[in-house]
Amino acid sequence: MLFNAFFNRKSIAAPTNVAKTWQIGYGYVDSSIDNIFWRDNKVIVIAPDSKAVAFSSNGRFVVVGDVWLSNRRELSVAYGIDTNNDLQLIAQLWEKLGFECLKLLVGMFGLVVWDKEEQILYSGRDCTGSRTIYYTATGSTRWLAPTLRTLAPYRSKDLDVVALRDYLCCAFVPGHRTLWNDVRELRPGTVLKLSQLPSGETHSFWQLQEQITNTDKPLSWHGEKLRQLLDQIIQEYLPQNQPVGVLLSGGLDSSSVTALVSKLHNAPVHTFSIHFGAECPNELEFSSLVAQYCQTQHHILEITFKDMWERLPEVMTYLDDPIGDPLTVPNLLIAQLAREYVETILNGEGGDPCFGGPKNQPMLINNLYGSVTNQNTLQAYLTSFQKCAPDLALLLKPDVLKAVNNAPSVFIDDLYSKDNYLNRLMAINIKYKGADQILTKVNNITQAAGLLGLSPLFDQRVVDLSMQIPPEYKLSGVEEKAVLKLAVADIVPEAIINRPKSGMMVPVQLGFRKYWQQEARSLLLNRNAMTAPYFNQSVIKDWLNYRGDTWRRYGVKLWLLTSLEMWLQVNRI
């Protein structure tokens, strides 16, 4: 069943300053298309400039993409390739090794390679999903691009209602689906091979695997091994002789990255923190403590409720699929401030997925006492997001609910694998929340601000190591991330090591109650809203009136729906 949410109506205007990206057309290509950078008989390359394109020395391979490699120098020496250009390096490596070279790349990349001799198109995405590749799945021409918005001229207007269901449960769209019915996302660590239409083949060149090792070694041994790896990765990430920034919340993860950067960098280190004004609690006490301890140049940005609402359409334009995380707007505003001081900014994303953050605890409890909670593993997992999973039967209109009820979840295989239970939860967080929410958000928003955003705790090597560390050294009882705490104990203030995890709380509950009530009603309850064909607006009306909000979760749900409505409006065609 196909659903079309688009009618003639007054919508929110999209910003006009979105940067153009490259795109590839494979198959039958209309000769009237403008701005073709390069073409062959079955392939065209549209690119804003030559920076996104490289050719192998023998001219056989054309490589197009967005690449940042931390091991470029190592690969250049090992294979005798004299270049400072990451894309050109891959072109030469492909000439020598073919798509096997993808296994050698450490860093971030989303790329397409055209083999002129064999007439085969390959597309690859880095192992953790820091860069993205989207492609159309139907038609006589397949289009590929690093952003979903670039493919707007080549897709239909029909939404994928299974992806919509998953967004409501998670606040992001997990897996290969996108909200557009005929567009797919290439999964991390995967190469897509197109040699003839209509079908294509996908192959994994990297897979996240549990490989628990050295179980006889103490926690201190694993902590030292992790520290050595973090020192190496941070040094690779630092821009030589240039100032660098770190997003600093005051939690363990961002504080650890700040401390490592300050210890290893020989140029100014700028840290950036946010708060939401006098009405709301904040973590400035902890972020300021870390900044002072590490002697960084610290910057604090106050974000108002007006900022949150007015800048949301712009943020939704920069994202690919919608993300219902309330931190999207603060992420953009702090990135724009950071760009005044630095060109490269690091963050602490990845600490929870890789080292067993406390959000896994409800699932661990459910695993022990499932007969008491009366939920199966999938229900418990979706409920743990604390979004709209329990509300689908009421929120979705009957025809939409019928269309999605029996569609399988992308989480099934990992949830019911034979791995250690904690590692199953971490694998899902890395493969889906990491690739489909955290890293794509970091990439899109930092690029929109003109920054290079780096997530050292989500580096492929850290992810691999996290699956080797015995689970009891990650999360055991109430002690979370024990191995990370030990790894940085000598450079992070003790008050940070010992403070409980709280997370950055964005005051959306207060926002909808006090500041956004009228605007939200006009947006979400309008009979011509783009979400109106899918949702029972009476349920949304109850949420806006805070009827029955026992657990104080309506604000989060309303932000998720508001983000979706604005995303649909700014991405209309």
According to DSSP, the β-strands at 183-185 and 43-46 are unpaired
Q: Evaluate if residue 505 carries a pLDDT over 50.
A: yes
Please give the pLDDT value at position 8: 37
Confidence of residue 15 (pLDDT cuts 50, 70, 90): low
**Above 90 in pLDDT, residue 128?**
yes
Instruction: Give residue for tokens 């990650």.
Output: 474
Q: Quick one: how far is CA 455 from the chain centroid?
A: 11
Q: Between β-strands 53-55 and 61-69, what pairing exists: parallel, antiparallel or unpaired? A: antiparallel
When pLDDT is averaged across residues 368-394 and rounded to a whole number, the result is 82
Per-residue pLDDT at 361? 65
Cβ proximity of 83 and 55 under 8 Å = no
Residue 354 has pLDDT above 70, yes or no: yes
Tokens of 486: 């030990």
Q: Which of the four pLDDT bands, split at 50, 70 and 90, describes residue 6?
A: very low
Lowest-pLDDT range of 117-131, 363-377, 454-468, 508-522: 363-377
Q: What per-residue confidence (pLDDT) applies to 14?
A: 56
β 190-194/201-204 pair status? antiparallel
Judged against a pLDDT cut of 70, whether residue 11 lies above it is answered with: no
Mean pLDDT, rounded, for 109-113: 98
pLDDT at residue number 547: 86
Q: Please check the confidence at residue 371 and state whether its pLDDT lies above 90.
A: no
Domains and CATH numbers, the chain: 22-146+156-204 (3.60.20.10), 219-356+420-498 (3.40.50.620)
Whether residue 369 is predicted with pLDDT greater than 70 in this model: the reply is: no
Provide the whole-model pTM.
0.94
* 38: β partners: 45
| Cβ neighbours for 183, distance < 8 A, ≥ 6 positions apart | 134, 135, 136, 137, 148, 151, 155
- pLDDT class of 548 with cuts at 50, 70, 90: confident
**Phi-psi region at 427: left, alpha or beta (left = phi > 0; alpha = psi -120 to 50):** alpha
Report the distance separating Cα 370 and Cα 410, nearest Å. 21
Give the model's pLDDT for residue 20. Answer: 83
Mean pLDDT over the full length of the chain: 92
pLDDT tens for 247-261 read 999 999 999 999 999
Segment 480-495 shows an average pLDDT of 96
pLDDT on residue 3: 43
pLDDT of residue 4: 45
The percent of residues above 90 in pLDDT, for the chain, comes to: 83
Percent pLDDT > 70 in the chain is 92
Cα separation, 441 vs 171, in Å, equals 12
pLDDT at residue number 573: 60
Q: What is the pLDDT of residue 504?
A: 65
Nearest to 506 by CA among 66, 124, 171: 171
The 10s digit of each residue's pLDDT in 199-255 is: 789 999 999 999 999 999 999 999 999 999 999 999 999 999 999 999 999 999 999
Given a cut of 70, whether residue 278 has pLDDT beyond it is yes
Q: Please give the structure tokens belonging to residue 272.
A: 């950036």
Confidence of residue 146 (pLDDT cuts 50, 70, 90): very high
Residue-wise pLDDT tens digits, 301-337: 999 999 999 999 999 999 999 999 999 999 999 999 9
Please give, one letter per residue, the 3-state secondary structure of 26-61.
Answer: EECCCCCCCCEEEECCCEEEECCCHHHEEECCCCCE
Residues contacting 133, CB < 8 A, separation 6+? 110, 111, 112, 123, 124, 125, 144, 145, 146, 185, 186, 192
Confidence band of 563 (pLDDT split at 50, 70, 90): very high
Q: What average pLDDT does range 429-453 have in this prediction?
A: 97
Q: Is 67 helix (H, G, I), strand (E, B) or coil?
A: strand
